[in-house]
């Protein structure tokens, strides 16, 4: 799970998962090194799986826990509280993916947050205008961490929405073809790759590298041909220059090893015309 969420340079898988859970679009600015929070060798918080900062300067903790811990709630509190005291952040979200029964309940997704209500009037405590301007929030409780718990083993394998599609994957290590949750299509590609043998992975990587080389040659030929065409066009006129430019694109593409149908698609010339250019040059 840690490798999955860290896989893409643009964090699209992690962004997809968080967006489906938090019900708003999340864009990740950077992944942070949780080891920097370590104070001594027994500090459990240094074991956090994912620590990310989004574009709104909020921190997100993602932990995956397989073995039962009776004090796991305290661990959640400790981790989020420590970030609040050590970092100048607007908000902390603690997301806990657990594969055991944590507490007693009949659901598989729980959300915890802080609210302050007046004992006599019942109204909720709000931030002052100065605080609202500083933190970009309204409620006093908004400054406090929010907690999400996903109890994977309680999920009944029936995906009723896009968040359920993610939970189905987390439980079964499988993504159905019709799933459409954000980030899952990229996760599916990584999952399919992981199922390959070492020999198959090497062959697949070679194919990707070959395709990248062909794509680079394709665009290089196109750019070089256009530049040559523009230069010639300045001397011979626009029409002749365009014709000469297409001729050079076709030749450069052919020299780069691009197949004939692709050369035709690139230049807009017929098969016979491209062959004539190649054979008479």
Q: What is the three-class DSSP state of 195? A: coil
In residues, how long is the chain?
281
For the record, the structure tokens of 109 come out as: 């997704």
pLDDT of residue 162 exceeding 80:
yes
- What are 121-150's pLDDT values in tens digits? 999 999 999 999 988 899 999 999 999 999
**Residue 17 burial (C-beta neighbours within 10 Å; 0-12, 13-18, 19+):** buried
Segment holding 232, helix H or strand E: helix 198-236
**Residue 252 burial (C-beta neighbours within 10 Å; 0-12, 13-18, 19+):** buried
Domain ranges of the chain: 2-196, 199-279
pLDDT of residue 38 exceeding 70:
no
Distance CA 168, CA 153 (A): 10
Assess contact for 167 and 108: CB atoms under 8 A. yes
Which one-letter DSSP state was computed for residue 150? E
The Cβ of residue 149 has, within 10 Å, a number of other Cβ atoms equal to: 21
Q: Could you tell me the pLDDT band of residue 44, with boundaries at 50, 70 and 90?
A: very low
Least confident range from 140-149, 168-177, 196-205, 269-278: namely 196-205
Mean pLDDT of 205-227: 63
The percentage of residues in the chain with a pLDDT greater than 90, rounded to a whole number, is: 45
DSSP E strands in the chain: the ranges are 28-31, 50-54, 58-65, 91-98, 109-112, 146-151
Q: What is the pTM of this model?
A: 0.66
Burial code of 77-108, b = ≥16 C-beta within 10 A, e = fewer? eebbebbeeeeeeebbbbbbbbbeebeeeeeb
Distance CA 139, CA 95 (A): 21
Helix axes 198-236, 238-255, angle to 10 degrees: 160
């Amino acid at each position: 799970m840690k490798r999955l969420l860290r896989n893409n340079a643009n964090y699209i898988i992690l962004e997809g998962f968080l967006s489906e859970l938090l019900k708003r679009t999340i864009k990740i600015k950077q992944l942070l090194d949780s080891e920097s929070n370590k104070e001594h060798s027994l500090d459990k918080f240094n074991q956090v799986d994912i620590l990310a900062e989004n574009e709104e300067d909020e921190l997100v903790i993602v932990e995956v826990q397989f073995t039962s811990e009776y004090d796991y709630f305290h661990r959640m509190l400790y981790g989020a509280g420590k970030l609040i005291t050590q970092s100048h952040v607007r908000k902390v979200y603690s997301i806990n993916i657990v594969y055991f029964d944590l507490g007693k309940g009949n659901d598989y997704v729980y959300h915890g947050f802080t609210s302050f209500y007046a004992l006599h009037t019942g109204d909720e405590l709000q931030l002052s205008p100065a605080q609202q301007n500083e933190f970009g929030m309204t409620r006093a409780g908004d400054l406090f961490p929010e907690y999400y718990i996903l109890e994977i083993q309680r999920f009944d394998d029936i995906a009723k929405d896009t968040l359920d599609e993610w939970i189905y994957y987390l439980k079964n290590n499988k993504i159905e073809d019709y799933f459409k949750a954000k980030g899952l299509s990229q996760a599916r590609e990584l999952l399919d790759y992981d199922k390959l043998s070492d020999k198959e992975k090497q062959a697949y990587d070679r194919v990707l590298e070959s395709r990248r080389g062909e794509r680079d040659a394709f665009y290089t030929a196109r750019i070089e041909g256009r530049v040559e065409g523009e230069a010639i066009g300045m001397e011979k006129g626009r029409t002749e220059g365009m014709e000469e430019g297409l001729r050079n694109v076709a030749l450069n593409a052919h020299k780069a090893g691009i197949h004939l149908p692709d050369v035709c698609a690139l230049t807009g010339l017929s098969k016979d015309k491209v062959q004539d250019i190649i054979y008479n040059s």
